[in-house]
């Protein structure tokens, strides 16, 4: 399943697409995503409920609800909120990135095995890509020390966040000039694992002003 924003409140800042599917044995996925505007920019996140099936979907849904409701808070605080809100579930792993448009910055953080990569749109940029540091832990059970990292972002940069249902090779090379929804579709088709729920969120940052 692929989703894309057409006329949404983020259209002047980001082009985006998401592709996902549930494991073949289930009718609903335990993977979810968030793309939510806040006062100074927007929040992007990918959430993976542990395991699969309805219990995983419930855990992911609780976390995404919390993230949307509090999207403007610092991302370490958001993880703490999710940690409290999903304690009654089987828990989640997640990766999230908050963009401050006026400053041209992105702050990101992960707990567990949600992968993230930022490909620079400028061919002369060095390094050409940045990878999200993975930290062990499960939101709702045990959090690692949280050390958000801040990066400058520029128009044309591409952020990809993926659950562990997407094999790690997806981040081996820049995705090129395809529209974000097409990039998401291609990653899911080429790198999606049949043994797990899978979701990939792709954003091409356009810049803009708040």
**Domain assignment of residue 88, yes or no:** yes
Q: Which residue has the tokens 């599917």?
A: 21
**Domain assignment of residue 210, yes or no:** no
Query: What rounded mean pLDDT belongs to the chain?
Result: 92
Number of independent structural domains in the chain: 1
- pLDDT tens per residue across span 65-87: 999 999 999 999 999 999 999 99
State the CATH number of the domain containing residue 51: 3.60.40.10
| All residues at 6 or more sequence positions from 172 whose CB lies less than 8 Å from its CB, including other chains | none
Domain that holds residue 178: 2-205
**Domain assignment of residue 134, yes or no:** yes
- pLDDT tens per residue across span 153-192: 999 999 999 999 999 889 888 898 899 999 999 999 999 9
Best CA proximity match to 95, nearest among 76, 110, 73? 110
- β-sheet bridge partners, residue 48: 31, 93
* pTM of the model as a whole: 0.93
């Amino acid at each position: 399943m692929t989703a894309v924003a057409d006329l949404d409140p983020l259209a002047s800042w980001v082009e985006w697409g998401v592709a996902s599917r549930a494991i073949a044995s289930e009718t609903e996925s335990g993977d979810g995503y968030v793309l939510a505007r806040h006062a100074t920019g927007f929040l992007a996140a990918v959430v993976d409920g542990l395991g699969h099936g309805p219990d995983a979907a419930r855990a992911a849904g609780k976390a995404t609800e919390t993230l949307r409701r509090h999207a403007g808070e610092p991302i370490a605080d958001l993880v703490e909120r999710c940690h409290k809100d999903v304690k009654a579930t089987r828990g989640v792993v997640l990766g999230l990135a908050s963009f401050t448009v006026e400053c041209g910055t992105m702050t990101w953080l992960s707990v567990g095995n949600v992968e993230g990569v930022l490909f620079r749109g400028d061919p002369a940029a060095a390094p050409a890509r940045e990878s999200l540091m993975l930290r062990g832990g499960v939101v709702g059970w045990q959090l690692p020390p949280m050390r958000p990292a801040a990066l400058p972002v520029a128009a044309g940069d591409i952020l990809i966040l993926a659950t562990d249902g997407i094999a790690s090779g997806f981040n081996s090379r820049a995705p090129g000039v395809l529209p974000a929804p097409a990039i998401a579709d291609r990653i899911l088709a080429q790198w999606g694992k049949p043994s797990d729920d899978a979701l990939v969120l792709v954003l091409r940052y356009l810049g803009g002003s708040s």
